[in-house]
């Protein structure tokens, strides 16, 4: 459904690349998460794949449409939720959705049903400029599924939302995924990526470092992490070491050799720890 | 196709009516027209403006008062002085030979004829045959304020249409709702047409409202539509260009206000300059529009002139568009 090949994009005419040589594919019904810290190039990648940014280098097909020859009908098949909410402030929540549904061919979801799903039905007739940030975000999110998209692009769908609402949104995503929607999710939240996606891509500094299923990642890195606490002269230090990495194995040997060990156990890594292992950096 | 265009149009209208600045722009031409109407003395009262001597026959004075304004002056010198002032006052002195008319020579076309007609009416008052002087030509009944004020206002509202389009566009950019539009199935053409329509509908609505308020109810509707549409087009193009290049409604409005300069310039030029200077205004679409509307109001308009004037406007518009085309295209990307 989504096929990206060696996408490179620069906002500054080639001086600095926001993304470099990004390649991945998402099959029908699959959920793919681009996981990476802020500024990694997630939104830029999504921007290209949704036709908002021109394709500069590389190839991409989305829902059978070659992005070098964009056609409007592609947009009937995709839905896009934006990182920054963007709704008409002078229209009510309901009017926003009523307007947007008219911009598509084919059947749309009833706006009131959508508002109910995201918990905005009580304020359906209130103008969006009276909404809080979270409410605007939910409206933007609701709008992205009005045309019942086959491919759903979600840019940071839960960022900045309070936990109750975030889990509500997560639930909606799960339901749509279960009914066969293909999803491209960008996030710096590894819990979300872990929970929602079939495949995760680690992205940092515009480069896609690794793509795999969360399960494979954990199998490969998980059991082989050792958390060790040891005593130096005056403090207790803690280190997390991979048993896959040659240097880190040596480091563990050195620690055992030099210091008094307080505790030591292997444990399953979180996606975040794996991310740090792979990219050398954290997610924030 | 049509439903999407209408969706964009009605959204802009709905949103615009809830926006203080846009609503203001929509209403203000109507208010100006109402004020203008109140300022213009009712037709008839302003037919003639004459000065007479104190010694004149009271019946003559009261008869003159039926037809316009009458000033009463002490002596001949004062009367001559009054006549030579800038406005269109004509002095009348009764002599045994009849009524002597003193004119300053700078009167508007038709003024002298009207006074003559009224004086004839007085001199023939004893005749039994009905006098067939009727002031049917609107040109005569018109005060310059009503005539020029209305034409000016109509040229001006075309800019307001462009301005509303521009503000709606700026709002889309500011809120980045344009991105949501760009990932929907609406085509660029449908969107631009939907956004632009208000720039035609609003000036048309304004123009006819103004004409109605000012009492010009028997003008040629078809010709009026042609002129208003052609002048709206150029304002619309400016509205689009400014809208695309401004992220802030305040700066956009002030850019748009620069457009007022050629409008004021060419309209006032057309009003006050001697016709030998008019070629200096030929570059301005607003000049041609003003001329057209002026003739429509005077009911002297003929299709040939109207179409020719509109053709000039369209040619100038096309040149402007050709110059700005690249910027427009780049701005939308
Ligand atoms: N509109 C823009 N103009 C210039 N640079 C940008 C723009 N948007 C993003 N960038 C830069 O591109 C890089 C990738 O940004 P982005 O794709 O937004 O990252 P993410 O979504 O992963 O946080 C960053 O270095 C960012 O500063
Ligand atoms: Mg982002």
Instruction: Indicate if B74 and B102 belong to the same structural domain.
Output: yes
* Residue A152 and residue A145 in contact, taking contact as beta carbons nearer than 8 Å: yes
More confident residue, B325 or B208: B208
In a domain, B59, yes or no: yes
Structural domain of residue B319, as residue ranges?
2-40+143-331
Same domain, yes or no: B178 and B91: no
Q: What ligand is nearest to the CA atom of residue A160?
A: 2
Q: Would you tell me which CATH number, out of the four given (3.40.50.300, 3.30.70.580, 3.30.530.20, 3.30.300.130), belongs to the domain A2-213?
A: 3.40.50.300
Q: Same structural domain for residues B71 and B152?
A: no
Best residue in A77, A88, A127, A139 for a mutation probing chain B (most B CBs within 10 Å): A88
State whether B177 and A91 contact (CB < 8 Å): no
Q: For residues B234 and B194, state if they share a domain.
A: yes
Give the mean pLDDT of A69-92: 95
The residue ranking higher by pLDDT, A219 or A140, is A140
Task: Clarify whether residues B10 and B119 are in a common domain.
Answer: no
Chain A: residue nearest B168 by CA? A88
Question: Which atom of ligand 1 lies closest to the CA of A45?
Answer: 17
pLDDT value for A139: 96
Report CB contact under 8 Å: B185, A105. Answer: yes
Would you state the structure tokens that stand for residue A74, as one six-digit string? 């592609």
Calculate the alpha carbon distances from B308 to A214, B274, B276, B288 in Å. 72, 22, 20, 9
If you count residue pairs, one on A and one on B, with CB atoms under 8 Å apart, how many are there? 67
Task: Say how far apart CA B321 and CA B324 lie, in whole Å.
Answer: 5
Tell me, yes or no, whether B160 and B70 share the same domain: no
Q: What's the confidence (pLDDT) of residue B57?
A: 85
Whether the pLDDT of residue B3 is over 70: the answer is yes
Q: A120 pLDDT exceeds 50?
A: yes
Residues B209, B105 share a domain: no
Under 8 Å between Cβ of A278 and A197: no
Please indicate, yes or no, whether residues B158 and B302 belong to a single structural domain of this protein. yes
ipTM field:
0.84
Report which ligand 1 atom has the smallest distance to the Cα of A83: 21
Q: Give B101's strand partners.
A: B92
> What is the pLDDT, as a whole number, of residue A284?
61
Is pLDDT above 80 for A177?
A: yes
pLDDT range class, residue A283, cuts 50, 70, 90: low
Q: Which residue has the higher pLDDT, A176 or B80?
A: A176
Mutate which: A43, A85, A102, A150, vs B, most B CBs within 10 A: A102
> B64 with B35, same domain?
no
- Compute CA A219 distance to the chain's CA centroid, rounded to the nearest angstrom: 22
Q: How confident is the model at residue B320 (pLDDT cuts 50, 70, 90)?
A: confident
Give pLDDT, residue B140.
45
Instruction: Answer yes or no: do B93 and B147 share one domain.
Output: no
Residue nearest to atom 27 of ligand 1 (CA): A39
Q: pLDDT tens digits for B183-209? A: 999 999 999 999 999 999 999 999 999
- Contact status, residue A160 vs residue A138, Cβ threshold 8 Å: no
Place of tokens 């005077």: B298
> Taking all residues of chain A, what is their mean pLDDT, rounded to a whole number?
90
Query: How far away is chain A from the Cα of B230, in angstroms, using its nearest Cα?
Result: 29
Whether A68 shows a pLDDT value over 80: the answer reads yes
Q: What are the domain boundaries of chain A?
A: 2-213, 224-267
Q: Is residue B133 part of a domain?
A: no
- Asked if residue B132 is part of any domain, the answer here is no
Indicate the number of domains in chain B: 2
pLDDT at residue B129, as a whole number: 52
Domain shared by B250 and B166, yes or no = yes
Give the model confidence (pLDDT) of B104-163 as tens digits: 776 666 677 778 877 877 777 766 554 444 444 444 456 778 888 899 899 888 888 988
- Residues of chain B neighbouring A129 (CB-CB closer than 8 A): none
Query: Are B209 and B91 members of one domain?
Result: no
pLDDT given for residue B332 in this prediction:
64
Q: Is the pLDDT of residue B251 over 50?
A: yes
Which runs of consecutive H residues, i.e. helices, occur in chain B? 2-17, 20-39, 58-67, 76-84, 111-123, 138-141, 144-174, 177-182, 188-213, 221-245, 249-258, 260-272, 285-297, 303-332
User: Cα(A55) to centroid of ligand 1, in Å?
Assistant: 15
First to last CA, chain B: 21
Among the partner residues A72, A73, A100, nearest to B180 by beta-carbon distance: A100
Residue B261 lies in a domain: yes
A218-222, B174-178, B187-191, B198-202: lowest mean pLDDT where?
Answer: A218-222
What is the pLDDT, as a whole number, of residue B127? 64
pLDDT at position B137, please?
Answer: 41
Yes or no, beta carbons of B180 and A99 under 8 Å apart: no
Strand order in the sheet with A260-267: A236-242, A225-231, A260-267
pLDDT tens-place string over residues B38-62:
887 654 445 678 888 888 888 888 8
Which of A47, A49, A83, A86 best probes binding to B when mutated, by most B CB atoms within 10 angstroms?
A: A86
Name the residue at shortest CA distance from atom 7 of ligand 1: A11
Return the residue whose CA atom lies nearest to atom 17 of ligand 1: A41
With respect to residue B130, please indicate whether it lies within any of the assigned structural domains. no
Q: Taking residues A127-155, what's their average pLDDT?
A: 95
How far, in Å, CA of B119 to CA of B217, rounded? 30
pLDDT band of residue B7 (cuts 50, 70, 90) is very high
**pLDDT computed for residue B136 by the predictor:** 40
**Residue B136 covered by a domain:** no
| Contact list, A95 vs chain B (CB under 8 Å) | 11, 14
Kindly list the residues of chain A whose beta carbon comes within 8 Å of any beta carbon in chain B. Answer: 50-52, 54, 72-73, 75-76, 78, 80, 82, 84, 86-91, 95, 99-100, 102-105, 127, 140, 143, 147
Mean pLDDT of chain B: 84
Ligand 1: which atom is nearest the Cα of residue A206? 14
Res. A90: pLDDT tops 60: yes
| Mutation probe of ligand 1 site: the residue of A17, A22, A44 with most atoms within 8 A of C-beta | A44
Q: Tell me the average pLDDT across A91-100.
A: 97
């Amino acid at each position: 459904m989504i096929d990206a090949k060696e996408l490179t994009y620069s906002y500054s005419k080639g001086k600095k690349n926001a993304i470099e040589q990004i390649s991945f594919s998402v099959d029908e019904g699959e959920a793919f998460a681009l996981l990476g810290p802020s500024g990694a190039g997630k939104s830029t990648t999504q921007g290209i794949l949704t036709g908002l940014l021109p394709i500069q280098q590389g190839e991409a097909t989305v829902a059978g449409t070659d992005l070098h020859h964009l056609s409007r009908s592609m947009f009937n098949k995709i839905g896009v939720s934006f990182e920054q909410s963007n709704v008409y402030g002078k229209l009510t929540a309901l009017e926003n959705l009523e307007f947007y549904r008219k911009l598509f061919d084919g059947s749309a979801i009833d706006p009131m049903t959508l508002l109910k799903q995201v918990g905005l039905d009580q304020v359906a007739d209130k103008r969006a400029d009276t909404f809080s940030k979270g409410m605007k975000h939910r409206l933007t999110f609701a709008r992205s599924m009005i045309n019942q998209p086959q491919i759903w692009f979600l840019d940071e769908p839960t960022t900045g939302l309070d936990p109750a609402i975030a889990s509500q949104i997560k639930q909606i995503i799960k339901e749509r995924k279960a009914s066969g929607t293909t999803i491209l999710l960008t996030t710096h939240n590894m819990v979300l990526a872990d929970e929602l996606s079939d495949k995760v891509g680690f992205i940092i500094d515009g480069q896609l470092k690794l793509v795999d299923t969360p399960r494979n990642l954990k199998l490969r890195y998980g059991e082989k992490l050792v958390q060790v606490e040891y005593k130096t002269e005056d403090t207790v230090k803690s280190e997390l070491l991979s048993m896959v990495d040659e240097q880190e194995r040596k480091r563990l040997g050195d620690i055992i050799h030099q210091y008094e060990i307080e505790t030591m156990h292997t444990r399953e890594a979180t996606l975040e720890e794996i991310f740090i292992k792979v990219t050398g950096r954290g997610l924030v | 196709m049509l439903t999407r265009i209408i969706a964009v149009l009605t959204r802009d209208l709905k949103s615009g009516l809830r926006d203080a600045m846009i609503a203001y722009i929509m209403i203000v031409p109507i208010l100006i027209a109402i004020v203008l109407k109140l300022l213009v003395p009712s037709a008839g009262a302003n037919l003639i403006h004459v000065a007479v001597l104190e010694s004149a026959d009271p019946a003559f004075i009261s008869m003159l008062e039926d037809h316009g304004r009458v000033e009463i002056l002490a002596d001949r010198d004062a009367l001559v002085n009054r006549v030579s002032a800038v406005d269109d006052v004509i002095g009348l002195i009764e002599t045994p030979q009849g009524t002597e008319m003193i004119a300053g020579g700078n009167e508007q076309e038709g003024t002298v004829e009207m006074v003559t007609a009224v004086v004839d009416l007085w001199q023939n008052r004893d005749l039994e045959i009905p006098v067939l002087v009727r002031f049917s030509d609107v040109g005569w009944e018109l005060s310059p304020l009503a005539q020029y004020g209305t034409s000016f206002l109509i040229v001006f509202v075309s800019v307001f249409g462009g301005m509303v389009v521009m503000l709606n566009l700026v709002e889309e950019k500011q809120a980045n709702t344009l991105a949501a539009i760009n990932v929907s199935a609406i085509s660029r053409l449908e969107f631009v047409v939907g956004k632009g329509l208000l720039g035609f509908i609003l000036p048309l609505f304004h123009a006819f409202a103004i004409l109605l308020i000012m009492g010009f109810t028997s003008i040629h509707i078809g010709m009026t539509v042609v002129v208003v549409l052609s002048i709206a087009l150029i304002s619309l193009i400016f509205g689009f260009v400014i809208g695309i290049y401004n992220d802030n409604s305040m700066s956009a409005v002030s850019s748009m206000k620069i457009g007022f300069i050629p409008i004021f310039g060419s309209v006032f030029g057309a009003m006050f300059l001697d016709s030998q200077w008019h070629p200096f205004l030929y570059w301005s679409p607003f000049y041609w529009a003003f001329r057209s509307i002026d003739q429509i109001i005077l009911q002297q308009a003929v299709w040939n002139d109207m179409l020719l004037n509109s053709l000039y406007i369209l040619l100038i518009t096309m040149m402007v568009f050709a110059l700005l085309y690249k910027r427009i295209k780049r701005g939308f990307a």
